[in-house]
Structure 1
Amino acid sequence: MNWLIDNLWALWLVTLLVFAVIELLSLDFIFLMLSGASLIALLVALTGAPFWLQVVVFCVAALLMILFVRPLALRHLRKGPPDSLSNVDRLIGASVVVLEEVTARGGLVKIGGDVWSARTDGAPLSPGQSAQVQKIDGAHAVVGLSAPGTTSPDAAS
């Protein structure tokens, strides 16, 4: 116990690591700010400040970081138009080229240069035929016939 009292920096280091792990699980920047406040308190502890001052510094730093740094970080993270699609959502409606016959059981298509496993809920599609992504179901693209005249230059790349 005497060792812990003499080495309070170790307590702040453990606190920092615990908050960092929780942040990795939650991804909401609250625990990242608490982790940063723990780092500041750790630095204060290394200067030999009393424990009560370390706690006050931690609290003030955490409050300031949550009120001022977190909103800036969130704003930076959410750059771009709010209605922009990401990940697989942006593939819905994309034109594809059938590489291997696509049936209800499976097949292969090329979406923007990437080869995807695909299936269709309608008629089978032949190799070389153009189609359109209707939805993404796990690791499969569910495709159907394109509307006439719809082609995408990136589907064939």
Structure 2
Amino acid sequence: MDWFRDHLWETWLGVAVVLGVLEMFSLDLILIMLALGALVGMTAALLGVPVILQVLLAAAAALAALTLARPSIARRMHGGPELSLGHGKLVGQRGVVTEVITADSAGRIKLAGEIWSAVPLDETVTIEPGEPVEVIEIRGATAVVYPIATPGF
């Protein structure tokens, strides 16, 4: 035990390194926050602070890092942009009617540079060519659309 007392900063550094290496296996950002606390303990040991205060400072720093820094870092690392793939990315986009769309017969729209078959969301509506529409849903290879009101002058 005398060696630890004589080499406190090295002990804190060793603990920080071990925790840092273990974090590489867990990747949950908890052990690295504890390692940061150990580095605070090492700094306190280098400044000649009593051992009990070193432990309290290390614990306070680790707790602060866990509660303040970890949540936002974890959100950034494990989160990411919402990716809309395939047909899902077309929902919410606007297109232009190229063939009349009625409840009885599917028409056609130009959407994202492609021609799609389309049916109206509201079955009582007829949408004429040239009118802008918004894609509400994709069902198979057919877009379910709703006309966008254009301001009349």
Deviation at 1:83, TM superposition (A): 5.1
Larger Rg: 2
| Counterpart amino acid of residue 53 in structure 1 | L
- Aligned position for 2:70: 70
Deviation at 1:40, TM superposition (A): 0.9
- CA distance in structure 1 between the partners assigned to 2:70 and 2:10 by the alignment: 26
- Aligned position for 1:37: 37
Deviation at 1:70, TM superposition (A): 0.3
| Counterpart amino acid of residue 71 in structure 2 | P
Question: Counterparts of 1:1-150 in structure 2 under 5 Å?
Answer: 1-82=1-82
- Aligned position for 1:115: none
TM-score (norm 2): 0.51
Moved over 2 A (4+): 1-4, 78-85
Deviation at 1:82, TM superposition (A): 4.5
Q: How many residues align?
A: 86
Q: Secondary structure at the match of 1:28?
A: coil
Q: Any gaps of 5 or more consecutive residues in structure 2?
A: 86-153
TM-score (norm 1): 0.50
Deviation at 1:72, TM superposition (A): 1.6
Q: Is the alpha carbon distance of 1:81 and 1:6 closer, same or farther for their aligned partners in structure 2, counting shifts above 3 Å?
A: same
Q: Deviations over 1:52-71 (max 9, x none)?
A: 00000011111110001101
Deviation at 1:81, TM superposition (A): 2.6
Provide the identity percentage: 40
Deviation at 1:79, TM superposition (A): 4.5
Deviation at 1:80, TM superposition (A): 2.6
Q: Any gaps of 5 or more consecutive residues in structure 1?
A: 86-157
Deviation at 1:84, TM superposition (A): 6.6
